[in-house]
Amino acid sequence: MNIGVLGAGQLGRMLALAGYPLANRFTFLDTTGHPSAGIGDVMIDTDRKHLEAFLEKVDLVTYEFEHLPVSLVQAIEEVRPVYPSSEAIRVCQNRAEEKALFDRLGIPTPAYRLVESAEQLEAAARDLGCPVVAKSVTEGYDGKGQAVIRDPGQAADAWRSIKHPRLIVEAFVDFVREVSIIAVRGRDGQVAFYPMAENQHLDGILRYSVAPMPDLDESVQQVADGYIRALLDALDYVGVLTLELFQTRVGALLANEMAPRVHNSGHWSIDGAVTSQFENHLRAIQGLPLGDTAARMPTCMVNVIGREGEASDILALPDAHLHRYDKSERPGRKLAHINLLAPTHAELLERVRTCAALLPDAPEPRFSFE
């Protein structure tokens, strides 16, 4: 199959790398003018003049980036199968729609308000109790379009800094850790779940993901599986879906947001799972049987942000796997990731700390189970 991918970044690159052994070919449609996939056939189309040519080449379409015009995805659906669907992308790229879906399915979230002015933002901060986090309803990701308000008097400045006509305001959660659940649903409705990962962020950007978690009660995994299965079924979803959650001190899970695509917190699966999230996404959208999602052994994904370390030093570490994206260095840019594996979590943490010391500006790894 020739698989069309909307977007041409590192996620699309990794989809292609997983798909070539299945005899797939890939055509990327880049709408930004700055593709970085460095693989497959890349078509740059900033003004939709090449959409028809793109569709003539491909058998079906998926995407590696959800911040796309819904109208574009809907237009493509008239011509080719699109997985996940335009309805999934419409909901996932709008935080208000997303929260409404969570509420409808009984998936708990932090307390929140929707506001449309600085005055409403200040009132929401007072109502929810500071600190709160304000986020643009659309277009925000990796910490962009957000502001933390520690006093209601900061609301006006936060409103100006975000520059968006509608915000969602969320109460802070007293959480033990940030976690994510990734699942994949086939065209036949079959669902497979990956072990939950614990994630560490800095400035809104993911830095470390560990899976499986050594102290996770099986009942918590089952709750997360139930939440994401409800989302998959409600959206008649096909492909990989990610749900980010907070785990509270009493073990409860509160949904933060979801992503309709392969996800940074699932990169560990390339080397650490029987079947990677990328291969399973491709299996799902092509109607193939889903692969085993079990972890081979404890694995940590280390994101390389801004500046790269010496590849020779990193690859000298035991069971280290470097995945570079062929990008130039720039502050805050995702350049690569490293998957580290070990027989035990204790050995894994030693390797993660050794690896972090080799990366410029890498934060100290901290995990709740230590």
| Lowest pLDDT segment from 62-66, 140-144, 250-254, 278-282 | 140-144
Q: What is the pLDDT of residue 61?
A: 98
Residue type, 353: R
Per-residue pLDDT for 316 more than 70? yes
Q: What percent of the chain has pLDDT over 70?
A: 99
Q: What is the pLDDT of residue 347?
A: 98
CA dihedral 270, 211, 341, 12 (to 10 degrees): 20
Instruction: Provide the pLDDT confidence category of residue 337 given band limits of 50, 70 and 90.
Output: very high
In SS3 terms, 57-123 reads as: HCCEEEECCCCCCHHHHHHHHCCCCECCCHHHHHHHCEHHHHHHHHHHHCCCCCCEEEECCHHHHHH
- Span 30-49, average pLDDT: 92
Taking Cα atoms as reference points, which of 46, 58, 49, 56 lies closest to residue 16? 58
Q: Tell me the pLDDT of the chain averaged across its residues.
A: 95
The CATH code for residues 2-82 is 3.40.50.20
Per-residue pLDDT for 14 more than 70? yes
| Lowest pLDDT segment from 7-16, 66-75, 290-299 | 66-75
Measured distance CA(197)–CA(95) in Å, rounded: 23
Instruction: Provide the pLDDT confidence category of residue 284 given band limits of 50, 70 and 90.
Output: very high
Measured distance CA(98)–CA(244) in Å, rounded: 12
pLDDT single digits (tens) 229-246: 999 999 999 999 999 999
Q: For the chain, what are the domain ranges?
A: 2-82, 111-171, 175-356
- Provide the β-strand partners of residue 2: 25
| Lowest pLDDT segment from 112-116, 200-204, 304-308, 333-337 | 200-204
- Span 281-291, average pLDDT: 98
- Span 324-334, average pLDDT: 95
Which stretches does DSSP call E strand in the chain? 2-6, 25-30, 41-44, 60-63, 112-115, 132-136, 146-149, 167-171, 175-185, 191-193, 197-202, 205-211, 239-248, 253-259, 299-305, 320-324, 334-341
Fold for domain 175-356? Answer: D-amino Acid Aminotransferase; Chain A, domain 1 (3.30.470)
Q: What is the pLDDT of residue 47?
A: 86
DSSP assignment letter at 138: B
CA count, 13 A, side-chain hemisphere, 140: 24
Q: What is the pLDDT of residue 269?
A: 98
Q: What is the pLDDT of residue 143?
A: 59
Per-residue pLDDT for 139 more than 90? no
Q: Is 44 helix (H, G, I), strand (E, B) or coil?
A: strand
Taking Cα atoms as reference points, which of 101, 84, 86, 82 lies closest to residue 237? 84
The sheet with strand 2-6 has its strands ordered as: 41-44, 25-30, 2-6, 60-63
Angle at 300 between CA 297 and CA 301, to 5 degrees: 130
Q: Is 295 helix (H, G, I), strand (E, B) or coil?
A: strand
Instruction: Provide the pLDDT confidence category of residue 141 given band limits of 50, 70 and 90.
Output: low
Instruction: Provide the pLDDT confidence category of residue 67 given band limits of 50, 70 and 90.
Output: confident
Per-residue pLDDT for 250 more than 90? no
- Residue 323 has phi, psi (to 5 degrees) of -120, 100
Contact 171, 111 (CB under 8 A): yes
Per-residue pLDDT for 52 more than 90? yes
Q: What is the pLDDT of residue 142?
A: 58
Fold for domain 111-171? Answer: Dna Ligase; domain 1 (3.30.1490)
Per-residue pLDDT for 18 more than 90? yes
- Span 135-163, average pLDDT: 86
**Helices (H) then strands (E): counts for the chain:** 12, 17
| Percentages (nearest 5) of helix, strand, coil residues in the chain | 30, 30, 40
DSSP string, 200-219: EEETTEEEEEEES-TT--HH
Instruction: Provide the pLDDT confidence category of residue 140 given band limits of 50, 70 and 90.
Output: low
